[in-house]
């Protein structure tokens, strides 16, 4: 557990974010290795099948994991205020809720897989592979929920290293199983799905063991779990807007995928591969945003709003510097990076074009993500949700349909719609942050402490 309420703000955020950044790197290896193995050893159609499945999985878990974010904020604020009994109540309630939700989504996902894929206009040629991959992933939803829940609890307590260590182990296992199941056993897309599920199960079991051994007051005892209505209500109040936001993001991704699917299998494969690289580019901002959530939560809980301001500014400077460097790399070497996933020259060219267009605007994504993370930590999660509705549904999707169709820009029109949404989202988040209204959203209201 780490106290983020004292010392240098920039140092505290960076040191807390670094393990999460490394964790995100290894997390992305799950998807990257899946795409590499199927793209290289199975084919372009299989790569497209795995790629088109991602937004569906994201949509099914987004709302539930948003509620988990509410638990993270509560854990951070209660821990900052030294209210350890309330921390325990939040953790117990999160376990019970996610257990039920995970089982329900597993069953529902398996039953509705084909219907969802047809709704997205997935070509018949890749439908069987996409359905097979999705059904296996849905079947393993519970351990995935469990690992993410425990990781969120640990981050709220200031421990970002333990999830990293467990993720490194599971990622190495995932890579080994991918190669075993696909290359050696010839299981195709089912092999990469089973590798992911097994690796996530190992992460979950390891996370529970570590949490039990290191945090006596949070030791998991199934027979003693208690559902706390107040903790659940507060988690919903803070987390539900984030969950709705994530759901809207996932739904918009699905709609965007439908537009991409209209350009055929080659463009689908290019988008799937480029999105994997895009995810790596976004990791510094995502890690700093997650660090900002815990940092803001603890410091508001401790009555130190000025540390929040200084921490947010430091995180922005660091994040934007990373985003500019990343934009240069993907702009200059996009085609080479696409070669990791495919030997198809047309797929590589389309993917490189995506990276060039989107990469120039990574600084907007960084600003939006870090500021939204700070607002969530303060308890003002409704604001990022409203920003998302505006940025995705009022800007990105209409721009994608208009630019790619009536204006005749083709797939470039879809790529341009992504930074258009970021511009609006970043602007709205900054406007609310600068208003200072977030200072009144904390669950705990201690007397301010002068730094």
Break the chain into its structural domains and give their ranges. Answer: 9-440
pLDDT at 280 over 60: yes
- Higher confidence at residue 235 or residue 381? 235
pLDDT score of 323:
94
pLDDT score of 443:
58
Find the range with the poorest average confidence among 60-74, 115-129, 300-314, 426-440. 60-74
pLDDT band at 441 (very low <50, low <70, confident <90, very high): low
- Output the six-digit token pair for 354: 């995506």
pLDDT score of 361:
96
Burial of 11 (0-12, 13-18, 19+ CB in 10 A): exposed
pLDDT score of 428:
93
Among 23-27, 54-58, 325-329, name the most confident range: 325-329
Burial of 54 (0-12, 13-18, 19+ CB in 10 A): buried
- Cα–Cα dist 148/140, whole Å: 13
CA distances from 293 to 8, 87, 370, 404 (A): 17, 17, 9, 36
Q: What is the pTM of this model?
A: 0.69
pLDDT score of 1:
55
> What does the pLDDT look like over 172-190, one tens digit per residue?
898 899 889 988 998 888 9
The stretch 397-407 carries a mean pLDDT of 91
pLDDT band at 30 (very low <50, low <70, confident <90, very high): low
Could you give the percent of the chain with pLDDT greater than 70? 94
pLDDT score of 298:
83
Among 138-147, 221-230, 313-322, name the most confident range: 313-322
- Cα–Cα dist 186/13, whole Å: 44
- Cα–Cα dist 442/294, whole Å: 12
pLDDT score of 31:
64
The stretch 3-15 carries a mean pLDDT of 83
pLDDT score of 326:
93
The stretch 16-25 carries a mean pLDDT of 80
> What does the pLDDT look like over 202-237, one tens digit per residue?
988 888 888 778 777 677 777 788 888 888 888 888
């Amino acid at each position: 557990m780490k106290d983020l309420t004292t010392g240098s703000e920039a140092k505290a955020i960076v040191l807390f974010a670094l393990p999460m950044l490394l964790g995100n790197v290894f997390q992305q290896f799950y998807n990257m290795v899946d795409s590499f193995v199927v793209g290289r050893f199975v084919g372009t159609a299989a790569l497209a099948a795995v790629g088109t499945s991602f937004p569906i999985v994201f949509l099914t878990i987004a709302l539930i994991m948003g509620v988990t974010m509410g638990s993270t904020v509560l854990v951070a604020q209660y821990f900052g205020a030294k209210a350890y009994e309330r921390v325990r109540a939040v953790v117990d309630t999160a376990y019970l809720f996610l257990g039920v939700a995970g089982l329900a989504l597993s069953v529902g996902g398996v039953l509705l897989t084909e219907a969802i894929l047809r709704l997205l206009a997935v070509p018949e040629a890749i439908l069987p592979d996409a359905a097979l991959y999705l059904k296996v992933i849905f079947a393993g939803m519970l351990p995935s929920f469990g690992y993410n829940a425990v990781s969120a609890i640990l981050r709220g307590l200031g421990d970002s290293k333990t999830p990293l260590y467990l993720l490194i182990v599971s990622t190495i296992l995932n890579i080994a199983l991918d190669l075993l199941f696909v290359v050696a056993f010839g299981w195709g897309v089912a092999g990469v799905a089973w590798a992911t599920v097994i690796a996530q199960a190992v992460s979950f079991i390891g996370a529970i063991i570590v949490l039990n051994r290191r945090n006596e007051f949070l030791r998991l005892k199934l027979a003693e779990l208690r559902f706390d209505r107040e903790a659940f209500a507060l988690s919903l109040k803070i987390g539900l807007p984030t969950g709705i936001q994530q759901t809207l993001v996932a739904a918009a991704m699905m709609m965007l995928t439908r537009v991409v699917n209209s350009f055929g299998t080659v463009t689908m494969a290019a988008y799937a591969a480029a999105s994997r690289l895009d995810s790596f580019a976004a990791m510094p901002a995502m890690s700093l945003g997650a660090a900002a959530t815990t940092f803001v939560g603890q410091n508001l809980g401790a009555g130190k709003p000025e540390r929040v301001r200084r921490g947010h500014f430091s995180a922005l400077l660091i994040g934007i510097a990373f985003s500019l460097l990343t934009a240069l790399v993907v702009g200059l070497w996009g085609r080479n990076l696409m070669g990791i996933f495919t030997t198809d020259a047309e797929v590589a060219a389309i993917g490189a074009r995506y990276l060039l267009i989107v990469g120039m605007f990574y600084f907007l994504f960084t600003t939006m993500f870090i500021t939204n993370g700070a607002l969530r930590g303060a308890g003002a999660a409704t604001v990022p949700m409203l920003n998302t509705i505006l940025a995705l549904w009022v800007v990105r999707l209409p721009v994608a349909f208009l630019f790619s169709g009536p204006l005749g820009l083709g797939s470039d029109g879809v790529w341009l719609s992504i930074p258009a949404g970021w511009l609006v989202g970043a602007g709205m988040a900054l406007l609310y942050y600068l208003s200072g209204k977030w200072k009144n959203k904390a669950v705990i209201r201690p007397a301010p402490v002068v730094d």
